[in-house]
Amino acid sequence: MTATAHFSTKERILGAAEDLFAQYGFAGTSLRQVTTHADVNLAAVNYHFGSKENLVAEVFRRRLDELSEQRLTALRAAVAQRPGELEPILTAFIEPALALTLDRQGGSAFVRVLARAYAEKNERLRKFVADNYGHVMREFSKAIAACLPGVGKEELHRRLDFIAGALTYAMADFGLIRHHGSTSEKAHCQKTAAALIRFSVAGLQSA
Amino acid sequence: MTATAHFSTKERILGAAEDLFAQYGFAGTSLRQVTTHADVNLAAVNYHFGSKENLVAEVFRRRLDELSEQRLTALRAAVAQRPGELEPILTAFIEPALALTLDRQGGSAFVRVLARAYAEKNERLRKFVADNYGHVMREFSKAIAACLPGVGKEELHRRLDFIAGALTYAMADFGLIRHHGSTSEKAHCQKTAAALIRFSVAGLQSA
DNA sequence: GTCTATATAAGGATAGAC
DNA sequence: GTCTATCCTTATATAGAC
């Protein structure tokens, strides 16, 4: 961990912050911890990011920009190739997120940061996420609604919230019931993705 | 809020801590904030609880003892009255939790505290919850497994994790939506509980 | 049990040399 | 861009009077 070689100071700070935010939360992580883990000087955080709050935002932006694009690309392909089907839409939503957990460059820490962000009801953080990535949820919402003409808008949003919650906590592997690892990490991820897609399709179609 | 009259110092501290932990998290809440909100002296926290960590544990114990008992009582009644059916079991799990969101004595803040605890990777907190309340999840797990003989243990645990995540997320959302008017709030809670139960039954039974 | 006052540590942020 | 040194605030916890 805390790999330093051939990464810029800025990138090392982002990586260390991501790891520590995942483990201790935003308020629970000090800039001193971040700079120590990143093996950079304390003053470097304020030089590169201006403040702790900006650093938090950058940790999100770095991953969410890519994740959002992957999801939307997959969504458009799904709708074009298999119109009217729920399963490919949910795959487009779920698989890019769970794939992050296999990322060797810190994505697995980021999914835990994401789970924390859900629990945070911090206004600034929520506004940042809503402003920058709300359009992704809206596009998925529309595509799913088109597959479920019998389900009202209110009920549909409830069910999408359930899926978002299930995905978030599945990604972070936060269940109280632990998965004893005989299967490899990658196999576990793929099984979870497949199970969540099935679970969600069934849930969305519930009478 | 922060009602003071006819509550002991200890109870006022617990109530204020619950509110603030919900809003700012454990690390993000200072004892100074707690004592100010509770309208008690700063030193009172250490006098009554010994440390911040003990205060956190007491905030959990106060609600979880009752919630666990309600869930288990409802579960046993469900299994006795309608054996082999999933829906009453899920109702026994979900309704007592969502009912907390309607509690006028701070339960609505506590559900957000619960969501934070779920996201916390803190070892002490996780151990405390697992040690004291793990048996509840195990009993539900067994009861649900008995209704789904075709589903393997591993897959079942995955699906239970999805439900726990969806419930946690749904509950935490409630905490925020509060204070908008009590009648529609109660209706909203009941609709969400009903929707989540349907969603979960369908998901559990997915082929 | 409750207060004031304080010990002691850690936090974010900055100034200014290099 | 990176360093050292430091300012200022806030934190937890405790000691001791009442």
Domain ranges (residues) in chain A = 60-205
pTM of the model: 0.92
Residue A178 pLDDT more than 70?
Answer: no
Q: How does the average pLDDT of chain B come out, rounded?
A: 90
- pLDDT band at residue B202 using 50, 70 and 90 as cut-offs: very high
- In this prediction, residue A122 carries a pLDDT of 73
- In this prediction, residue B120 carries a pLDDT of 78
pLDDT digits (tens, 9 = 90+) for B67-102: 999 999 999 999 999 999 999 999 999 999 988 888
Share of chain B above pLDDT 70, in %: 92
- In this prediction, residue A89 carries a pLDDT of 98
Pairs from B144-151 (Cβ < 8 Å, separation ≥ 24): B144/B86, B144/B89, B144/B90, B144/B204, B146/B84, B147/B84, B147/B85, B147/B86, B147/B89, B148/B86, B148/B204, B148/B205, B151/B204
Q: Which nucleotide is nearest to A27 (CA to C1')?
A: C11
- Chain C bases closer than 7 angstroms to a protein Cβ: 1-6, 10-16
Q: Which of A73-82, A89-98, A147-156, B96-105 has the lowest mean pLDDT?
A: B96-105
- In this prediction, residue B163 carries a pLDDT of 97
Closest partner residue to A177 (CB to CB) among B115, B137, B203 is B137
Mean pLDDT confidence for A177-200: 78
Residue A3 pLDDT more than 70?
Answer: no
Closest partner residue to B161 (CB to CB) among A118, A169, A202 is A169
Residue A146 to residue A83: CA distance in whole angstroms: 9
Reading the block at residue A180, the tokens are 């004893």
Residue A92 pLDDT more than 60?
Answer: yes
Residue A5 to residue B49: CA distance in whole angstroms: 46
Contact B202/A206, CB-based, under 8 Å? yes
Task: List B residues 108-127 in contact with A (Cβ-Cβ < 8 A).
Answer: 112, 115-116, 118-122
Residue in chain A nearest B161 by alpha carbon: A175
Task: Choose among A106, A80, A81, A117: nearest CA to A17.
Answer: A106
Mean pLDDT confidence for A129-147: 94
- In this prediction, residue B102 carries a pLDDT of 84
Reading the block at residue B99, the tokens are 């009912």
- In this prediction, residue A93 carries a pLDDT of 97
- Of B75 and B124, more confident: B75
Mean pLDDT confidence for A174-181: 45
Mean pLDDT confidence for B136-141: 96
Most confident stretch, A38-42, A114-118, B3-7: A38-42
Can you say how many angstroms the Cα of residue A23 is from the centroid of all Cα atoms in its chain? 15
pLDDT digits (tens, 9 = 90+) for A51-71: 999 999 999 999 999 999 999
A60-205 CATH fold: Tetracycline Repressor; domain 2 (1.10.357)
Nearest residue: Cα versus C1' of D5:
A43
Residues of B in contact with A155 (CB under 8 A): 195
Q: How does the average pLDDT of chain A come out, rounded?
A: 89
Mean pLDDT confidence for B121-145: 88
Asked if the C-beta of A180 comes within 8 angstroms of chain B's C-beta atoms, the answer is no
Closest partner residue to B28 (CB to CB) among A27, A115, A158 is A27
